[in-house]
Chain A
């Protein structure tokens, strides 16, 4: 089985974000970047599927600047076999990114193409499903459980108030949600071995796209809390404030 995992380099979820001077992008100075956490679920799924099958190939594909090579090597350290970097500064328009990735994946004989369900830096939920459409493949999004057997997959999705089970033939595209697995830590030997694994770089140029980011702002700072009292005596005052001040009841 040949599996592709598409990976994005994003700021660490614990990093302190500062908006850049242009008001439209983040200031990358001193910010630590990591693999998109949802993509880590996809990486783990690919590695586990190959381990279970005992054969096959796993390939990680990332679109980004040269700095994304480090992110790709994290995936190689976890156990992915080889990497491809599509060199590009990226685009705010997911469709442009999807076209470039689909161009790389097309005709390569992938049985399964995995994505995280979204990237935590832009919350777009777009690229995975768009790539499926461009490749004319079935797509199951936000998958929280996945099994592959006999050229078909079964997947579970958590929907409002329940679980939906789906099946489809391979090849297919799956975007991974939280809960699908627990991504492994790379072993120290894996980190050293990653240096020796193939990492191909290919420049790509994206179209202008039809969407632009006009501004980026941090959420307002949270106000300090207020303690209105203790025990049952405080309840009337609390209810009063929730009604008049917070306006939530």
Chain B
């Protein structure tokens, strides 16, 4: 570490001494990723956001650090971490930017995980090491233009031929879609109303008939690659199918993994905003005193700290449950719903506390605020998670 680093360095938020219930390795992993974010991401993220560019040059460094698929086993070149350590990685990445965390979430939870969980031994050996090294970049094709919250209605098809499969369809809002070398695409192998026939396919993106088109005009996640995928008579060999995938449950299992990471990531974004707000409140002088001396800003900061602490407790227990094998998708829904909503509120309040300066890219709160609108919407909208919890409580599905 550089000697005499600036005291403005981000040092985390830990009001309830949660460090004391993390293991030494968990803390070391978090601190390492935090240092990496400070050193490599923070200096470039403002410009990337303004220019609408994903900082691709950081992928080899992220891979070398070991953040891609970090909770998958070592035999595939992954770090084999527990789920709390994995969550802390997501927290630190999103402290930098939701777009970078999204990249890591998609690569690990939505591409590496399905290959690991539903793939053959050959598929795992072929793809997981290169995805962990970042020499292959993956994307996950589930959502379609007319099927977002209702993915079971998808109209992408996979027709079996005598020597393989032919895929046709369109996927939308696909993170990493323009730069991916491989896509995990979900398609119906049976009738269009048969959600049970949904299967996953590994599609190298240089296959004829496959195109990824950059989504233009985003006002959120601007440092993330978002694309629309078109599959037009994409011919795949027989072994492109993920043999153990079956029905809508398979992609939903992937989403549970990703949502778990998001619940931690959102805390990182909120911590970044809170940290910025506290520093600003102490230093910004108005009416002859720091604005932090005014009751209205103190209420803002007290609310932020309280909500962040509650979210930390939620995610930590969720992580311990995931490691113990007792976590359900409904548990994940609660954490994703609460923590992302909490982070959007923190970001908005921090931006307001920063006054006019808060609209500049030099500060981070407005970037987080805009990003979090996407995070609020993707991976199961806030509203869908409300309905999932409602169903869990009453036994009645309202969707």
Give the interface of A toward B (CB within 8 A).
13-14, 32, 34, 37-38, 40, 70, 73-74, 77, 120, 178, 183, 185-189, 191-192, 195
Contact = CB atoms under 8 A, between A and B. Distances in A.
Given A13-B3, A183-B1, A191 B9 contact: no
Given A14-B5, A37-B3, A40-B1, A185 B81 contact: no
User: Which of B1, B29, B70, B74 gathers most chain A CB within 10 Å?
Assistant: B1
A189 B70 CA distance: 9
Interface residues of B, number: 28
A34 B1 contact: yes
Contact of B81 (A13, A32, A34, A188): A188
Contacts of B33: 188
A189 B66 contact: yes
B29 A188 contact: yes
B79 interface: yes
B252 interface: no
B28 A186 contact: yes
Contacts of A40: 1
- Return the 10 tightest CB-CB contacts between A and B, nearest first: A188-B66, A188-B79, A37-B3, A191-B28, A187-B66, A189-B79, A189-B66, A14-B9, A185-B32, A37-B1
Nearest to B27: A70
Given A13-B5, A37-B1, A192 B65 contact: no
A70 B28 CA distance: 9
Contact of B65 (A34, A70, A73, A188): A188
Given A13-B4, A185-B35, A70 B9 contact: no
A73 B31 CA distance: 14
A188 B9 contact: no
B11 interface: yes
Contact of A77 (B28, B39, B81, B85): B28
Contacts of A186: 28, 32
Nearest to B39: A185
Contacts of B326: none
Nearest to B26: A191
B2 A37 contact: yes
Interface in B77-100: 79-81, 85, 89
B32 A192 contact: no
A185 B36 CA distance: 8
A187 B28 contact: no
A219 to B, nearest CB: 13
19 contacts: A13-B3, A13-B5, A34-B1, A37-B3, A70-B24, A183-B1, A185-B35, A185-B36, A188-B32, A188-B66, A188-B67, A188-B81, A188-B85, A188-B89, A189-B74, A189-B79, A189-B80, A191-B32, A195-B25
Contacts of A14: 5, 7, 9, 11
B383 interface: no
Contacts of A195: 25
A104 B5 CA distance: 33
B267 to A, nearest CB: 19
